[in-house]
Amino acid sequence: MKKVYTAAIILIFIVTLGLLGWHIFGDAGTALPVIGGKSKAQTAGKTGVLREVAAITLGKVEVYNYQRMGFTRGFLQFSPDGQTLAVGTENGEILLLDMEGRVLWQKKLGLGKLTALQFTTDSQALLIGESSPDGFLVCLDRKDGRELWRQSSVGELGVNIKDKTFPGIVAIRTDEAGRIYAVGQRYIRYPDGRYDYRGRIYKFDPSGQRLGMFPGDHNLDAWVSWISVDDKGEKLTFGTANWDMGGISRYTDSLYCIDGQLQGVLWSKLLSPVPPFQNTTLRSGPEISPDGRYVTGIFSDGRCFLYDGQGQELWLRALSSPQKIANVELNAVGTYGQMAGEYAVFSVSNTYNRANWQLPTPVEHPSSNSIFVFDRQGQFINRYKLGGMIEEMATQEQTLVLAVGRNVRTKNPAVHGLYVLSLPDALLLDDAATAGPCVGAAVSRDGTYAAGVEAPIQLDNGEVIGEYKLRLYQIVR
């Protein structure tokens, strides 16, 4: 009897300790690929186009609900050579996986918060942007995650430890020659509600040597969180999202194109706001085409555009205009604008009440949660309406991969998932439903793999659905 008792205690203890260990150390990458390999990939979507290769837990995150403006993030990037997938988590973990979903290595960022992730052009290194008292750009060897170099942005952007206004590298791009372009950003919110923006664009060679900065001797006094560069590295574009114009005197325009040497502004555009908006902001754009001939994007007020490389407007379309229905002003925000070969693709977000985004609206905005495809001439090709917020859009010439998350109006969790659409017709090829909102999306350069990050969410009834998880899919067309 005593032996049984002892065995029971030991067994329960081992289970307890095991569970505790699993919980504690199971930050990310602890789950094995759900499938042995791509050959056995399971059908994940309805049509069989998406086949799940692996589902890997990314650790524990704070669970948000529908009342939260910002939401859990997940950074995803396929390497240009199509061999690996890099994942960055909310908890500052970086994982590198092969195409069968095996974790090759993982690394913890430590103090900093992950803000950007990008492979180098040759796929041999991974660039990490972080927000911390140093605001580093870190370059890791793809082979083993070993750090190759790091560069700080605090010298230019400054830091205030007390107020925790830290510099961070918020966007990274590379050109064909492997040169690296990164946006450093810091914003300060004063007790009186004023904002102060500081931004800088850096250029490094592949070994981490700084080649230049824009502006050379001062900071951008604007909110800049995006950068795009053409293949040759001759032109860079960035937009501004200055909700508070109070402290801005120099960089007041809506979008800028600067030369690849970071010597000066080639052209810039200032668009007047569309009433009732007070400003024109461009947060996830503009995108310059690889050949540098086109620049596209969508302003938050719903106007999308295509300029040529010299800044001449080719066309401008209003995809989502503010509407007043039943005395409620509502709008749907323009989010992503990207070039996909010959076409430009734009996304529009959830419907918001202008008075307060959390307040209800009588109806959804007709353009909300939709994808719009135009050709270079501005010809509308198609649109596809999704049930929830397009949290991230990843494009490839024939494929569009969308992470669909919360619908703050309908709160319907059935819409969550990773959606694959064909281009240019914007037809749904397949969708892999996720329990929680899908918050990150990526597609491999050859269009054969897609990846998404699912996040948990707390429903209004208190129930938590979904997990913080990476899902890797094969696209079989």
Contact predicate 344/376, CB 8 Å: yes
**Cβ proximity of 473 and 52 under 8 Å:** yes
- Verify binding: residue 60, other proteins, rule CB under 8 A: yes
**Under rule CB under 8 A, residue 182 binds other proteins:** no
Spatial separation of the C-alpha atoms in residues 218 and 232, rounded to whole Å: 26
Contact 55, 42 (CB under 8 A): no
Burial of 110 (0-12, 13-18, 19+ CB in 10 A): exposed
Restricting to residues 201-240, which ones interact with other proteins according to CB under 8 A? none
Please report how close the Cβ of residue 97 comes to other proteins at its closest, in angstroms: 21
Closest C-alpha to 130, from 106, 146, 154, 148 = 154
By C-alpha distance, which of 334, 330, 322 is closest to 352?
330
Residue 33 CB, nearest approach to other proteins (Å): 24
Q: Rounded to an integer, what distance in angstroms lies between the CA atom of residue 434 and that of residue 466?
A: 7
Q: Measure the CA–CA gap between 181 and 334, rounded to whole angstroms.
A: 25
Tokens at 380, concatenated: 């509308």
CB of 6 to other proteins, least distance (A): 5
Task: Tell me: does residue 63 bind other proteins (CB under 8 A).
Answer: yes
Minimal distance, residue 383 CB to other proteins, in Å: 37
Contact code string over 101-120 relative to other proteins, x by CB under 8 A: -------xxxxx--------
Give the whole-angstrom CA distance, residue 92 versus residue 125: 18
User: What is the 3-state secondary structure of 283-347?
Assistant: CECCEECCCCCEEEEECCCCEEEEEECCCCEEEEEECCCCEEECCEEEEEEEEEEEEECCEEEEE
Work out whether 21 is an interface residue with other proteins (CB under 8 A). Answer: yes
The residue among 146 and 477 lying less far from other proteins, judged by its C-beta, is 146
Q: How far is the CB of 196 from other proteins (least distance, A)?
A: 18
Q: Which of residues 443-462 bind other proteins (CB under 8 A)?
A: 458, 462
Please tell me whether residue 363 adopts helix, strand or coil conformation: coil
Listed ranges 3-11, 214-222, 357-365, 423-431: which one lies at the site for other proteins (CB under 8 A): 3-11
Q: Find the binder of other proteins among 4, 39, 69, 164 (CB under 8 A).
A: 164
The yes or no reply on residue 153 touching other proteins (CB under 8 A) is: no
Contact between 22 and other proteins by CB under 8 A: the answer reads no
Query: Which span (157-165, 311-319, 403-411, 445-453) binds other proteins, by CB under 8 A?
Result: 157-165
Options 177, 325, 359, 464; binder of other proteins; rule CB under 8 A: 464
Question: Which of 55, 114, 125, 159 lies at the binding interface for other proteins (CB under 8 A)?
Answer: 159
Site residues for other proteins per CB under 8 A: 2-3, 5-6, 9-10, 12-13, 16-17, 20-21, 23-25, 60, 62-63, 92, 108-112, 132-134, 152, 154, 159-164, 458, 462-464
